[in-house]
């Protein structure tokens, strides 16, 4: 019994196969796909789905991880123009997540996306009642930006039908919530449609229940004045730590 | 009736049919990744295998079923598939009927339907997807439920409820992660209905409605009098 406890646990050797496949697939994709830009140490699981023809509109940073069955979909045929899906350094995209971008979806540095999340900046058009929705194409859509260091919980849906949807820095989107409007920095949101349930109080330097006064959810305007500390200083500190 | 808009829309719709777009992009990405050929071939082979060996009630031409789909061969005689259907990865078409039982098809999927990844369809009485329905990812469509009323035995041993039937009208769109659950009676979504992401639909809806929330409410509807889409439910349209 004691011997068993002392035994150094090692991963199942069978797990080596998917790891090797993932490594090979990542190398293959990094080397041959015409991404707008791709960083170093990008890992794409071999079941993840990125179209080579749409790759010129996708930009991936350093150390981006795409886990099983992640789908990066660029919903436009035009291969020119600025990148539609931008994933910055250190992001990790969980199992079964769908990121479908028509205009722009920007995940800033070190965003953690859980499993089966859908992030979509357009939708199916349905207004024409004579045509089946499958044949009506997609709407004009908006733009989505997810702030640095945020965490999107399992099964959440982030949908933007028009304008710009901004999730601030260091936000938490709870499991299965549906986000349709912008969220200020340092908030925890939950529910469908998502409401702010906790927020960081910069004066008391603690997390408080409910929404703080004066930091209302406003489309495309995020109050950056109420930050607890200087964002640039923090970013600089992070950079120095990373070397 | 719908010939001309199809051609226009197929240009706009972009990535919904990944890999099948003939559009040749810029100079850099003229062709698809050759590695993608392997799953395509597997898919093709698996579909042919299904066509030859599974006793479907009907299976139209140009059906494409991903090789990771879960379809039980014993119950395949209760599944009816139309033409031009695409069923994606990890989709489950489950039937909780006994394999010996003969009768009407329980799962009916009409022409031009698309069922995306990880969708679960669990049928006992009848689930009917009419033509041109899009079912997005992670959707759950069940027409029965687990029995739970007996407090002395685990729910897992109690079997299923009697359930109802589900019919999803032609041209509808079922959004990501939504659930359509019918515990009794008949649940009918009319023509061109939209079920928003993560909605839980438990009741019928008239044609041309947009449903959202848990439980799903009608948030937008086509008003036949004004000939326009209006917010909220139109009373006169309910029939």
Which residue from B2, B8, B23 is facing A132, i.e. has the nearest CB?
Answer: B2
Q: What is the reported pLDDT for A221? A: 40
Which residues of chain B neighbour A192 with C-beta distances below 8 Å? 198, 213-214
Which residues of chain B neighbour A130 with C-beta distances below 8 Å? 1-2
In order along its 243 residues, chain A shows pLDDT tens digits of 555 566 777 778 888 999 999 999 999 999 999 999 999 999 999 999 898 888 999 999 999 999 999 999 998 888 788 899 999 999 999 999 999 999 999 999 999 999 999 999 998 888 888 888 888 888 899 999 999 999 999 999 999 988 999 999 999 999 999 999 999 999 999 988 899 999 988 888 888 888 776 554 443 343 333 333 334 444 444 444 443
Give me the number of domains chain A comprises: 1
Please enumerate in sequence order all residues whose Cβ is within 8 A of that of A207, keeping only pairs 6 or more positions apart, or say none. Answer: A188, A198, A199, A200, A201
Buried b (16+ CB within 10 A) or exposed e, A151-189: bbbbbbbbbbeeebbbbbbbbbbbebbbbbbbbbbbbbb
How high does pLDDT run on average in chain B?
83
Residue in chain B nearest A132 by alpha carbon:
B171
Is residue B132 predicted with pLDDT exceeding 50? yes
Q: Using the beta-carbon criterion (under 8 Å), do A28 and B194 form an inter-chain contact?
A: no
To the nearest whole Å, the CA of B231 is away from the closest chain A CA by 13
Residue in chain A nearest B118 by alpha carbon:
A96
- Chosen for mutation from A100, A132, A191 (greatest number of chain B CBs closer than 10 Å) is A132
CB-CB contact of B1 with A130 (8 Å): yes
Is residue B3 predicted with pLDDT exceeding 80? no
Which residue from A51, A129, A157 is facing B197, i.e. has the nearest CB?
Answer: A157
pLDDT above 90 covers a percentage of chain B that reads: 52
Q: What is the reported pLDDT for B6? A: 37
Q: Using the beta-carbon criterion (under 8 Å), do B194 and A126 form an inter-chain contact?
A: yes
Q: Using the beta-carbon criterion (under 8 Å), do B13 and A138 form an inter-chain contact?
A: yes
Class of domain B34-237: mainly beta
Element (H, E) at B174: strand B173-174
Tally of CB atoms within 10 A around B46:
17
pLDDT digits (tens, 9 = 90+) for B43-88: 999 999 999 999 899 999 999 999 999 998 888 889 999 999 999 9
Using the Cβ of A227 and the Cβ atoms of chain B, whether some distance falls under 8 Å is answered with no
Containing structural domain, residue A103 = 13-242
Q: What is the reported pLDDT for B149? A: 86
- Chosen for mutation from B1, B25, B109 (greatest number of chain A CBs closer than 10 Å) is B25
Which residues of chain A neighbour B5 with C-beta distances below 8 Å? 128, 131, 135-136
Which residue from A52, A135, A138 is facing B132, i.e. has the nearest CB?
Answer: A135
Which residue from A25, A76, A134 is facing B112, i.e. has the nearest CB?
Answer: A134
User: Which of these, A123, A164, A124, A158, lies nearest to A143 by C-alpha position?
Assistant: A164
Which residues of chain A neighbour B132 with C-beta distances below 8 Å? 132-135
Using the Cβ of A128 and the Cβ atoms of chain B, whether some distance falls under 8 Å is answered with yes
pLDDT digits (tens, 9 = 90+) for B134-190: 999 999 999 988 888 888 888 888 888 888 999 999 999 999 999 999 988 999 999
Determine the Cα–Cα distance for residues A105 and A176; give it in Å rounded to an integer.
20
Q: Is residue A151 included in any domain, yes or no? A: yes
How many Å separate Cα A101 from the centre of its chain?
A: 11
Q: What is the reported pLDDT for B103? A: 85
Q: What is the reported pLDDT for A147? A: 93
SS3 B198: coil
Which residues of chain A neighbour B90 with C-beta distances below 8 Å? 69
Q: For chain A, positions 175-214, list CB contacts with chain B under 8 A.
A: 176, 178, 192
ipTM confidence score: 0.72
User: Which of these, A36, A213, A153, A162, lies nearest to B177 by C-alpha position?
Assistant: A153
Least-confidence region, from A211-215, B102-106, B141-145, B231-235? A211-215
If you average pLDDT over residues B118-135, what whole number do you get? 92
Q: What is the reported pLDDT for A10? A: 77
To the nearest whole Å, the CA of B222 is away from the closest chain A CA by 8
The residue ranges of every structural domain in chain B are 34-237
């Amino acid at each position: 019994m004691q011997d068993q406890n002392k035994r150094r646990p090692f991963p199942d050797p069978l797990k080596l196969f998917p790891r090797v496949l993932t490594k090979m697939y990542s190398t293959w994709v990094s080397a041959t796909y015409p991404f707008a830009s791709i960083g170093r140490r990008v890992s794409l699981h071999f079941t993840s789905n990125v179209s080579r023809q749409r790759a010129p509109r996708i930009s991936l940073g350093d150390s981006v991880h795409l886990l099983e069955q992640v789908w990066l979909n660029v919903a436009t045929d035009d291969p020119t123009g600025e990148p539609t899906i931008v994933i910055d350094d250190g992001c990790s995209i969980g199992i079964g997540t769908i990121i479908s971008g028509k205009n722009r979806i920007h995940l800033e540095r070190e965003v953690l996306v859980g499993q089966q999340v859908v992030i979509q900046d357009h939708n199916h058009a349905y207004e024409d009642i004579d045509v089946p929705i499958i044949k009506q194409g997609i709407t004009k859509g908006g733009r989505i930006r997810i702030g640095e260091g945020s965490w999107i919980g399992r099964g959440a849906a982030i949908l933007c039908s028009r304008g710009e949807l901004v999730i601030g820095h260091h936000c938490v989107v709870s499991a299965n919530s549906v986000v349709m409007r912008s969220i200020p920095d340092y908030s925890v949101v939950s529910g469908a449609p998502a409401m702010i349930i906790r927020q960081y109080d910069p004066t008391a330097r603690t997390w408080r229940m409910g929404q703080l006064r004066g930091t209302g959810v406003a489309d495309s305007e995020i109050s950056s004045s109420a930050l607890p500390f200087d964002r640039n200083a923090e970013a600089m500190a992070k950079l120095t730590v990373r070397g | 009736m719908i010939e001309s808009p199809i051609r226009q829309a197929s240009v706009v719709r972009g990535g919904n049919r990944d890999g099948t777009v003939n559009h040749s992009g810029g100079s850099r990405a003229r062709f698809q990744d050759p590695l993608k050929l392997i799953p395509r071939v597997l898919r093709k082979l698996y579909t042919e295998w299904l066509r030859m060996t599974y006793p479907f009630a009907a299976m139209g031409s140009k059906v494409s079923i991903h090789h990771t789909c879960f379809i039980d061969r014993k119950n395949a005689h209760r599944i009816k598939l139309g033409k031009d259907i695409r069923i994606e990865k990890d989709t489950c078409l489950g039937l909780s009927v006994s394999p010996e039982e003969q009768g009407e098809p329980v799962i009916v999927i009409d022409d031009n339907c698309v069922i995306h990844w990880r969708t679960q369809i669990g049928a006992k009485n009848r689930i009917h997807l009419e033509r041109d329905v899009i079912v997005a990812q992670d959707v759950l469509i069940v027409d029965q439920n687990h029995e739970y009323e007996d407090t002395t035995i685990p729910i897992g041993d109690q079997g299923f409820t009697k359930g109802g039937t589900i019919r999803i009208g032609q041209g509808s769109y079922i959004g990501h992660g939504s659930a359509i659950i019918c515990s009794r009676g008949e649940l009918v979504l009319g023509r061109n209905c939209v079920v928003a992401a993560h909605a839980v639909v438990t009741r019928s809806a008239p044609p041309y409605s947009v449903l959202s929330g848990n439980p799903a409410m009608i948030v937008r509807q086509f008003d036949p009098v004004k000939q326009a889409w209006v917010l909220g439910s139109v009373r006169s349209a309910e029939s």
